[in-house]
Structure 1
Amino acid sequence: MLEGYISAGRAETDYGVVLDRESLQIDHAATEKLRSAFRPERPFFDRGAAACERLVAMGVSE
C-alpha cells in the first residue's frame, strides 16, 4: 500500500488487513477481528497415524 500498488480499502477487502488511516500501520486488533468474522468454525479432523507417517516419510513433519 505504501508504494501505491493497493489502496487501504482494497487491503481490507481483499486481504483482511486493517490499517490505521493516519499512521498507515497495521491495526492488529482490528485485523484479527475482521479476519475472525470470515473464519468459519472448523471442527478438528484427525487423519490418523497413517497420515502422520506419510508426512514424516516425506520430510514434512517429525
Structure 2
Amino acid sequence: MKLVSNLLLAAICLSSSIVTAQQKIHFESIAEVETTPVKSQGRTGTCWAYSTVSFIESEIIRMGAPL
C-alpha cells in the first residue's frame, strides 16, 4: 500500500512539472461607455432597486441628457 501511495505521489509531482502556462490573452477596448459609480447598498436586500436606478442613470447618460 505504501508503494502505491509513493508511486502516486511521484506521478503527481512529475506531472505538475510538465504542465505549461497558457498564453497571455490581450483585450482591447472597442467602445468606452460612461456609467455611474458603484454604490454600496449596505446590509439591505435591495440590490434590485440599486441595479434598476443604475440602469436608468446609465441610459440617461447614453442618450446624452445630463443627470
Query: Shorter-chain TM-score category?
Result: under 0.3
TM-score (norm 2): 0.26
TM-score (norm 1): 0.27
Considering Cα pairs closer than 8 Å and 6+ residues apart, tell me whether 1 or 2 has the greater RCO: 2
